[in-house]
Structure formats: structure tokens, C-alpha cells
Amino acid sequence: MSDSVGPVPDALKILVAGGFGAGKTTLVSALSEVESLHTEEVMTAESVGVDDLDGVESKTTTTVALDFGRITLDERTVIYMFGTPGQKRFSFMWEELAEGALGAIVLADTRRLEDCFDTIDFFEQRDIPFVVAVNCFNGVRTHMPADVRIALDVEPHVPVLLCDARERESVKRVMVELVSHVLELELSRA
């Protein structure tokens, strides 16, 4: 009998980023096959005047470090998802979380689209491939991906798609699109 536990799976690191209240924690929870880990804290009086709640007035908690989830693709490949905090005051975490990332999902909320600019700049400056996923909340006007692309001024090769961060199948399509995008970029560089 061998003491070997079998081959070590290939680990792929994916970031889920975007503005405050865009639905990053929800997306990680919807897609993770294990109970996802969250560093959610109740927003206190100290956040008044610091965190902009326009468009997300009912939000009562915030991610202060990261969200974490896992998806097993096959016996050799596992995706680890790391959700970043959305507020600028926690942006120091982005650098640590981005280390070794294969790619990123930038989750966009059309009520607060300007919150995506810093996130997109971050990934572009570090040459980390990303897709933009527009989270279609209940009651929020849906914009066409082409219009969001123009508003965010992202390159034509960057996929922009619609999703519902609460629905596993919807966010699974986003993840598949990201992995396909990363593979296409790698093949074009070879």
C-alpha cells in the first residue's frame, strides 16, 4: 500500500472584484461548491461619510478582507475564488490577493458604474486578464453589454456580459467566459 495521496491538483486563482455593493460576496457564494468564507462585518457609524451608500442604501455589511470559494473542475483542476473588498480604503488587500491570479471577474453595478474604473485600471496595469460581468439586480435597468463597454472604456477584446450574481448557472457562464478569455490570450501570445 502506498502512502501517496495521488497527484496534487492544478490550482487556478481567480479574483472577483468590483465596486462596493456590486455583489461580489453573492457571486462567490453562488458559485462555490463548498460553504464560502466571508469576512463580512456590520457597517457602523464610523463608515458614515466614508462609504458612499448611494444606490445601495439598504447595505448593512461589508467585506473587510476577502471572500473565498472553491470549484473543482476535474480530478486535476481546482479554481480558488478570492473576492476583494469594494471600498478604496481596503484596496491595499488587492495587491496581496492579485499575487498569482490567473484572471479576474470585474463585477459591475450599473447604478454605480464609476466604481469599476479603479478596478479595471488595477488589472490593466498588472496585465491580469479580466472580464466585465454586469450584475442584473431585481428592479435595476439592464444595459446592453456594448453600452457598458463604451461607458467603462474597456478594450474590444475584453468580454462584457450580463449575469445575475445570485444564480449559479449565470455566474458559471461568467467563469467559463473568463477561463476561455485567458486561454485565448495565452494562445495569442505563444
Dump pLDDT digits (tens) for 60-74: 555 545 788 989 888
Whether 4 is in a domain gets the answer: no
Model confidence band, residue 46 (pLDDT cutoffs 50, 70, 90): low
- Whole-model pTM? 0.80
Whether 159 is in a domain gets the answer: yes
Whether 63 is in a domain gets the answer: yes
Whether 1 is in a domain gets the answer: no
> Are 35 and 95 contacting, i.e. CB atoms less than 8 angstroms apart?
no
Closest CA to 159 of 119, 80, 104: 104
Query: Residue 43 sits in which domain range?
Result: 10-189
Closest CA to 106 of 134, 67, 125, 81: 134
Q: Kindly report the CATH number assigned to the domain that includes residue 49.
A: 3.40.50.300
In the chain, the number of structural domains is 1
Whether 162 is in a domain gets the answer: yes
Whether 2 is in a domain gets the answer: no
Q: Write out pLDDT tens, residues 136-171.
A: 877 566 788 999 999 999 999 999 999 999 999 999
> Are 67 and 38 contacting, i.e. CB atoms less than 8 angstroms apart?
yes
- Residue 84 pLDDT exceeds 80: yes
Mean predicted confidence (pLDDT) in 46-56 = 53
Whether 96 is in a domain gets the answer: yes
Whether 18 is in a domain gets the answer: yes
69 by Cβ neighbours in 10 Å (0-12 / 13-18 / 19+) ranks as buried
Dihedral (CA of 88, 168, 15, 156) sign: negative
What is the pLDDT, as a whole number, of residue 159? Answer: 97
